[in-house]
Amino acid sequence: MDKDKENLIQEIVQGMESWSPADILYFGPLRRAVSLYGPVTRETVFPLISQILELEHREPGKPIRLHINTEGGSLSDALALYDALRGVSGPIVTVATGMCASAGLLLLSAGDLRLATENTLFFYHEPILPLEEIISKKQLNETVKAYDLCKNSYEKIIKERTGMSDELWLREFDGETSKYFDVKTAIEYNLIDDSIEAAEKVLK
């Protein structure tokens, strides 16, 4: 790992105050950290985008940290948050914890430094589009086009951000409908740069 990423890890380990839609007073902006705990939806993403843009406005160029614990959700909302994260001038640190699934992998890849706590579970599946309202062959054909667009956008971002080769993607991810893996494997895939290990306890 290069020196810049090591320095970012040290800054995180020293402790930063967080900020979440559910508890602004507790999390707060002083430590420049926001949290996504739950599904990726318009309701969960909008406050995060607002907070990220506000943090960038207050102190442009300084790091912003996003903690992620999600089972996934809306790809379009994940793309909106991804673009917001990539649109600020300072480095983004993404920290996966608990579960990082589906659209969560896209958000994780937005980080200039990507970390995970040691017991994080990761989950990948190909994008899913709702089919309940399809009532014609033309609509089905357009849905197939939309599916391909979503799938290609998702894969392109993750492969570019992780440096994953087409060969590795085809072997490990292409066509998978349910793929779980752990932190060690996420490092091997270069989905994360490093893990955050449990701290040593000082007993008095």
Q: What pLDDT digit, counting tens, does each position of 120-145 carry?
A: 999 999 887 766 676 788 887 887 88
Q: Tell me which residues are annotated as active site.
A: 102, 125
Its pTM stands at: 0.83
Instruction: Please tell me the distance from the alpha carbon of residue 172 to that of residue 39, in angstroms, as a whole number.
Output: 25
Task: Note the Cα 150 to chain centre separation in Å.
Answer: 17
Q: How confident is the model at residue 25 (pLDDT cuts 50, 70, 90)?
A: very low
For residue range 45-84, list pLDDT tens digits in order.
999 999 999 999 999 999 999 999 999 999 999 999 999 9
